Amino acid sequence: MTLYIITNSRIFKTHTLKATTLFDKVWDAHVVEHVEGGPNILYIDKHLIHEVTSPQAFSGLEKRGLKVFRPERTIATPDHNVPTVNQHLLIVDKESRAQVETLKANCEKNKIEIYDLNHPNNGIVHVVGPEMGHTQPGMTMVCGDSHTSTHGAFGAVAFGIGTSEVEMVFATQCIMQSKPKKMRITIEGDLAQGISAKDLTLYVIAQLGTGGATGYFVEYAGSAVRSLSMEGRMTVCNMSIEMGARGGMIAPDETTFEYIKGRTHAPKDEAWDDKLAYWKTLKSDEGSEFDKEYCFKAEDIEPMITYGTNPGMGMGIAQSIPSETDVLASELPSIQKSLAYMDYQLGTQILGKKVDYVFVGSCTNGRIEDIRAFAALVVGHKKADSVTAWIVPGSKKVEKEAIEEGLVDILKEAGFEFRQPGCSACLAMNDDKVPAGKYCVSTSNRNFEGRQGPGSRTLLASPLTAAAAAITGVITDPREFM
Amino acid sequence: MSVDKFTLLESSCVPLPTENVDTDQIIPARFLKATSRKGFGENLFRDWRFSPSGEPIKDFVLNQSKYSGQVLVAGKNFGCGSSREHAAWAIADYGFKVVVSSFFADIFRNNALNNGVLPIQVSPEFLENLIKAIEENNSQNVIVDLEKQLLIYNKEAYKFEINPYKKECLLKGFDDIDYLINKKEKIQEFES
């Protein structure tokens, strides 16, 4: 909007009130300083840490003779290395045990709140943040983990950082970051029955590819996004990194406020009213400009599955892997290498192909709605004998809820074991490793070579698709169960 | 504390034309259990370099003695996936000071720069020609002049982009934390 002042028949153009995006509103409000010819100094409201990317940051800080600047803005939870059985016993793997103990010791030394193993609030860092009310709209949040983008579901600017940057935030509660470009991805319409947030995000990533959003911060919009629950929105924002995005966010609304209200660290009483008034301003103004925009239709989305070795190599479960003529000549060597690893062929379907393992869990799909969806499909059926299944809750709270709702009874009846919280087979740092050559339908976020164990073959999918595969022992369209 | 200075480098190259090399390949998760920054070079590209029994895989470029050097030349979208800075540590510890590609993942690019490893983004055509030249002449040298932002081989020169602040840090061996600590007052002002 441009204002004009007319005087003595001359027209002056005064300041322009520019329509601002949600991302700009949050980012700009946190800039301490803009370095000439360089990055912004961005203030960080909340710093989440875990045991894998923090040890060197803590020791670096000590070497500099510094203390953690704002321990009260730091939350810790060990998750990557922890076993998902017998958590009450000492961790067997020496190195895993050392990392978990190092985190505890560092937190004690620096007076940082930690939800240690066996604490009732322990769990995967990106499950714990939101469920404890730490994650709120309008915040800047970082963690030494690329799926920090999860918290963007609340309208926060949240992104993953490296260990040196963790040290930076410890020392100054700030980070040096160049401001990324802005992308908006709008998905309109209704998701069909049996299609979930995970299918939506795998669909989008298949369209853009693993580098399609590199250099951009994504805002997700549209009626299909609005219709998602907070957990569904978290799944979508979580996977933003898989198309190279710096982060992904969704404007907060009533669904968001409902979710946050009453949680342990949510603002209360007058503070709640104040915050709510601010949160309601957090949306992209009409007419905001983005550097790039994409629009998709929800009705085009089927249950998705990946067939290759990056999250962009996904397709509708009933479709065929692209044939030689479907791909660019320059892309063919890469795809062939990928398919050779998976032992799949160009131009073929993978419906009906053997599945050896099923993993339900991770920061992508390890929340109560995911366990509910899985249980709702398997009830009345039995797990295939040929399948090893790991059902891993994202946190102690999710574990407790699943037990209280009777979901664990349903799982047991169907022949499934319910384990204890942790990142588990998502990246197989603990003992939950898929053996070489075996196929795993996984509700996690990455299917890179060896991700779930050297030589393992990962097929990314939704909890419903994982449930269907667990029953039949082969890749199955979950809609057959509806 | 600081990183090593980077000004001028002349070196032969190691070609890795594979695209979409993710950080799980650069350093598999099972090696992230260390609590120090040392020793990651041994496990760089571990599962592409060594068989499960520890035998070197002959076809992998790091096991081919004809190629050596401090410059890694890689296919597009290098360093995608996990934010693990351990990937940059492994690359630096192995001995690479430069990675050349036509496209870098953001987090990896940042991590590399924070560890004195220079990521140089070139056009797809330049990359293709450079890889061809290296494969034809295994001891093909390149010159990297950070001050002039030039990557030179034979008679071809490429002017690459780099954030001026990051360039200054690399040239002088400064790191961000030293810079930020001097801004403590400004940060406290912001907080109030």
Nearest to B181 among A145, A172, A215 (CB): A172
Buried-exposed string B4-41: b where 16+ CB fall within 10 A, e elsewhere? eebeebebbbbbbbbbbbbbbbbbbbbbbbbbebeebe
CA distances from A333 to A212, A459, B20, B63, B79 (A): 19, 21, 12, 21, 19
Summarize pLDDT for A52-70 with one digit per residue, the tens: 999 999 999 999 999 999 9
> Is A172 in contact with B36 (Cβ distance < 8 A)?
no
| CA-closest candidate to residue A365, choices A189, A205, A238 | A238
> Is B183 in contact with A451 (Cβ distance < 8 A)?
no
Determine contact, residues A99/A52, Cβ cutoff 8 Å.
yes
Res A16 pLDDT > 60: no
Preferred mutation among B4, B16, B32, B166 to probe A, highest tally of A CBs within 10 A:
B32
| Residue found under tokens 């875990």 | A50
E strands in B75-160: 98-101, 118-121, 141-145, 150-153, 156-159
pTM: 0.94
Determine contact, residues A322/A406, Cβ cutoff 8 Å.
no
> Is B107 in contact with A451 (Cβ distance < 8 A)?
no
Determine contact, residues A31/B11, Cβ cutoff 8 Å.
no
Nearest to A172 among B32, B175, B180 (CB): B180
pLDDT the model gives residue A17: 65
Percent of chain A with pLDDT over 70: 96
Compute the distance between CA of residue B81 and CA of residue A325 in angstroms, rounded to an integer: 28
Write the CB contacts of A297 (distance below 8 Å, at least 6 apart in sequence).
Answer: A187, A188, A189
Nearest to B180 among A162, A174, A448 (CB): A174
Summarize pLDDT for A386-438 with one digit per residue, the tens: 999 999 999 999 999 999 999 999 999 999 999 999 999 999 999 999 999 99
Determine contact, residues B188/A175, Cβ cutoff 8 Å.
no
> Is B77 in contact with A211 (Cβ distance < 8 A)?
yes
> Is B103 in contact with A214 (Cβ distance < 8 A)?
yes
Helix, coil or strand: residue B147: coil
| Residue found under tokens 């322009």 | A16
pLDDT the model gives residue A7: 46
Summarize pLDDT for A149-202 with one digit per residue, the tens: 999 999 999 999 999 999 999 999 999 999 999 999 999 999 999 999 999 999
| CA-closest candidate to residue B43, choices B109, B84, B97, B91 | B91
E strands in A50-188: 74-76, 113-114, 140-143, 157-160, 174-177, 181-188
